[in-house]
Chain A
């Protein structure tokens, strides 16, 4: 529905975007503030960034976070994609309701519950908490997001391409690898990116499942923030925002290219 936007429509969208972006813009600006005080502008400066690169605790936490995010996002993408295929392609199977329930529940489950329950599981199993328990926890949390993204691509997917390949004698596994996988690849990539950024972002579940020596960046930032605003934290946040902005712009360009290719392929098929 787009019968032309009224001025009320334009104003509400503009105000909404301003509300979303203004606080982030302020944060980024003040990370370059030479003054330590928030309200006093002391001129442009990179002092906080310099200080940051000498802060070993923050750098180490960032390194832990990046490794946790990369590992858990990869595991979550594999598990989430399999779950999406199972939900779209297997039709009815016994305990399907239980399975889909388990897949969708973590999307809305309050983080304190997920974190507490995973911690108690690790304690009951006698597992030492640390790096790997965070990876497992984040995999469990993020695989469901991957499933939803991949599943929404699979349900709109043109099955006739697969059927054509199979009719021409292509074995199922090869059909999956050469037809299905390339077509849903943008959704899988988007799922990985989302899983990665969710893991990088998570404070609550990581706090429950962490152990000695495995401090992630959000845990570090949180303990600093509780003591008050510090310009160094503004600088950390700005770097993370730049990282995310770069990543999402890159991924949207990839997705656009994929869409253009698909369109070309569809046109070719029609001709």
Chain B
């Protein structure tokens, strides 16, 4: 009996070891390094920061390193209004986009959940399919439509809705369109999953008790779908705050989202410590929503087991 238990223990460890090690090395360790470099100073060197940790110096090297760390990059990120505005703008765009996604996504998910049973799998497939095509392609498709001599202006001018070409591209409108377009499946699917499982008899009970359909929707359906709303909103809000491609290709250049600021600091200014400080601050900003999302995810995947 003992040997079989030991055996099980051993094989369990073997299963766990590989993904665990991989994630510690390539997911956890990098964050420690980002934190360390955010506390370093910019230098005209390769790599462009000081101090560089010298592993051969051992404990003494580590102490040397600790002495040279500075919070300059954080001081810069927190005091320079460029960065502060960048964070605020990202939060604003993410909040408005998430709200728009909820307003647009809810009726779609609700309609899907009320469709005939046989129709539902193809509908889910139809919502998921664009997500499988490239993100970049989907954003690029909108450039075709929104640019100055693009399809939207052409159509509106033919309909005499506008006299001259309007500037759709490089505007906040374009960013919101891109966000809603790209993240719609992430909002619709969690909502659909909740609405589809809802117990029909609850609505019947409400109707029997004289509750009008519209009121029953707000009093029964909406409260019961809140877990789906939370999952969808977090699944959209968190990545949108750090989004780079959509504002870069569809937005204007006058005010940047934080992902773009990080990108510019890193690739154009080659200021690695400031880029790292931006990343650490961004992570700090998103920590609460990420932890909340993780709890939801754990509950939905592991809760159904017991």
Contact = CB atoms under 8 A, between A and B. Distances in A.
Number of chain A interface residues as a range? 35 or more
B184 A16 contact: yes
Scoring A21, A85, A117, A121 by chain B CB atoms within 10 A of each residue's CB, the highest score goes to: A117
B149 A37 contact: yes
Contact of B23 (A99, A113, A121, A204): A99
Given A5-B111, A16-B104, A103-B23, A244 B133 contact: yes
Contacts of B276: 116, 120
A233 B140 contact: yes
B27 A140 contact: yes
Contacts of B117: 2
A3 B200 CA distance: 8
Contacts of B112: 13
A9 B197 CA distance: 17
Interface in B263-306: 263, 266-267, 272, 275-276, 279, 282-283, 286, 290, 293-294, 297-298, 301-302, 304-305
B115 A13 contact: yes
Number of chain B interface residues as a range? 35 or more
Given A88-B305, A113-B242, A155-B301, A1 B140 contact: no
Contacts of B135: 201, 203
Given A110-B239, A113-B279, A225-B249, A27 B137 contact: yes
B181 interface: yes
B63 interface: no
Contacts of B151: 26, 38-39
A110 B31 contact: no
B143 A90 contact: no
Contact of A24 (B114, B133, B279, B283): B133
Given A101-B294, A234-B144, A241-B137, A116 B262 contact: yes
Interface of B is mostly: helix
Interface in B236-266: 238-239, 241-245, 249, 259, 262-263, 266
Contacts of B125: 248, 252
Contacts of A26: 141, 144-145, 151
A200 B202 CA distance: 45
Interface of A is mostly: helix
Interface string B204-246: 0000000000000000000000000000001100110111110
Interface stretch (A54-62, A76-84, A179-187): A76-84
Interface string B186-198: 0010000001111
Contact of A104 (B130, B263, B294): B294
A134 interface: no
Scoring B20, B29, B241 by chain A CB atoms within 10 A of each residue's CB, the highest score goes to: B20
A155 B142 CA distance: 40
Contacts of B133: 24, 240-241, 244-245
Contacts of A27: 137, 140-141, 144
Contacts of B77: none
Nearest to B188: A16
6 contacts: A2-B113, A9-B107, A24-B137, A38-B144, A80-B19, A116-B262
